[in-house]
Amino acid sequence: MVLNIGPQHPSTHGVLRLRLVLDGERITRAEPVVGYMHRGAEKLFEARDYRQIIVLANRHDWLSAFSNELGVVLAVERMLGMEVPERAVWLRTLLAELNRALNHLMFLGSYPLELGGITPMFYAFTEREDLQHVMEELSGGRMHYMFNRVGGLKEDLPAGWTDRARGAVAGVRGRLGRFDDLVLGNEVFRSRTRGVGVLDPAVARSYGVSGPIARASGVDFDLRRDEPYLAYGELGDVLRVAVRSEGDCLARFEVLLDQTRNALELADACLDRLAELPPGPVNQRLPKVLKAPEGATYAWTENPLGLNGYYLVSKGEKTPHRLKLRSASFNNIQALVDLLPGTLVADMVAILGSFFFVVGDIDK
């Protein structure tokens, strides 16, 4: 029997369609059908200048807006050979980690919900609100921050913001144990996820799977450690790369929870470093019309969901000649072609939910 899950279905995170071929209750073939939400962002980049493309770039993974912006400005700055003020480098690192925690908290709440547990979702949104308040105070936006600029950041911190950010980070860290108790300590959750949806590391590598999904299968790669950017090279003693070898749904959830804790530790380390820095600029003065020199470059970052890359080609104009986006979710979701066959339909929702994707990040 051929069964269509989606594109409008409660278990598919929005407009993703899965075309399954079944033998009784067992899946024999699976095909993720993407494109229902396609917005042509890459083509739109070509019609906007380097300041305007930031507002487009922060929307494909709407849970990781700051990280999406970051990749674009890093690519343009690399083309320009531009040095960013030290204060901006540390602020970017801080905000990237706060954004990582915000992203992960959404999935830490939504995944148990898909398996029938509603309570963790309420706790996840409580923690998210604490972090959202400080991000919103700083940038003016709740989801699409638009705080990065070519050459640095939009503006410096409001008075007293670092203390409020430190308080929010401490509060969230102190309450993360709820997920250990409510979710990881739950027998039903463990029985639905342990040994289910095992992703082989060779399959993960062949599809270019990255981020927490790959690391849960033993693929020990994290750009922040292996090819440091921003201030990560100076945070080696704080950065811990969470890795598991089981590769199942439970391992993916555990990695996500470990990464959330470490993101908060990294945020604290950045706040400590910012307190030591003397006052100074957070951006560079730019010409009225910003043009990148002719050439090409590739900038990639360790986004919350995995590797996010921008391949920028410039003809020396104020708009990109080409800006190709390599999004994490697009590669990650392709591994379902290999992973789902052989599993039961009843386990499909558990596996799909553990892949922590955003549909806009697939249909960029």
3-state secondary structure 163-225: HHHHHHHHHHHHHCHHHHHHHHCCHHHHHHHCCCCCCCHHHHHHCCCCHHHHHCCCCCCCHHH
| Sequential DSSP letters for 7-26 | SS-TTTTSS-EEEEEEETTE
Task: Say whether domain 2-359 belongs to CATH 3.40.50.800.
Answer: no
pLDDT 10s digit of each residue in the chain, 364 long?
999 887 765 555 568 889 999 999 999 999 999 888 777 889 999 999 999 999 999 888 989 999 999 999 999 999 999 999 999 999 999 999 999 999 999 999 999 998 999 999 999 999 999 999 999 999 998 889 999 999 999 999 999 999 999 999 999 999 999 999 999 999 999 999 999 999 999 999 999 999 999 999 999 999 999 999 999 999 999 999 999 999 999 999 999 999 999 999 999 999 999 999 999 999 999 999 999 999 999 999 999 999 999 999 999 999 999 999 999 999 999 999 999 999 999 899 999 999 999 988 998 7
> Can you tell me the distance from the alpha carbon of 24 to that of 140, in angstroms, rounded to the nearest whole number?
52
Q: Tell me: the pLDDT tens digits for 289-315?
A: 999 999 999 999 999 999 999 999 999
Between the CA of residue 310 and those of 5, 9, 83, 364, what are the distances in Å?
31, 31, 19, 12
CA neighbor of 63 nearest in space, from 211, 203, 205? 211
User: What is the CB neighbour count within 10 angstroms for residue 296?
Assistant: 12
Q: How many C-alpha atoms does 181 have within 13 Å on its Cβ side? A: 6
Encode burial over 88-110: b for 16+ CB neighbours within 10 A, e otherwise: bbbbbbbbbbbbbbbbbbbbbbb
Q: Which of 136, 157, 153 is nearest to 145 (CA)?
A: 136
Q: Would you kindly state where each structural domain of the chain is located, as residue ranges?
A: 2-359
Tens of pLDDT, residues 135-145: 999 999 888 99
- The pLDDT score that the predictor gives to residue 38 is 75
Q: Report the pLDDT value the prediction gives residue 9, as an integer from 0 to 100.
A: 55
Q: Which tokens sit at 258?
A: 């470990």
Residue 151: what pLDDT?
94
Say whether 143 sits in a helix, a strand or coil: coil
The count of other CB atoms within 10 Å of the CB of residue 167 is 12
Report the predicted TM-score, pTM, of the whole model to 2 decimal places: 0.94
Bridge partners, residue 273, by sequence = none
- The reported pLDDT for the residue numbered 143 is 87
- Spatial CB neighbours of 116, under 8 Å, sequence gap ≥ 6: 188
